Amino acid sequence: MSQQGPDGSVRDLGTFDRGSVLGEMSLLDDLPRTASVVALEPTRALVIPVWDFRAALRESPDIAIKLLGVLSRRLRKSELADAGTH
């Protein structure tokens, strides 16, 4: 996964393994995606429309709790990486 900065520079956000969750932020906040993903090998992906995703969260709050854990770990990793560059 990578992110392009305003100056055109590209920041590598890491690689993901089988079962990884990607693109969830746009499903939660209705804002445009902020990163791009390129598969390095043949990949199967499940695409969930926003209305189905939100219905699943309402029906199964445990999904939301697990997703919060994923987001928290990602934020923590990002903060640690930023702290290492300052």
Domain boundaries, the chain: 2-85
Summarize pLDDT for 25-80 with one digit per residue, the tens.
Answer: 888 888 877 777 788 889 888 888 999 999 999 999 999 999 999 889 888 887 87
Looking at residue 86, what is its pLDDT? 59
Return the bridge partners of 12, or none.
Answer: 2
Reference 46, options 18, 71, 72; nearest CA is: 18
- What's the pTM value of the predicted model, to 2 decimals? 0.64
Read off the pLDDT band of 3 (50, 70, 90). low
Report the distance separating Cα 29 and Cα 31, nearest Å.
5
Alpha helical stretches, state H, 3-60: 24-29, 50-59
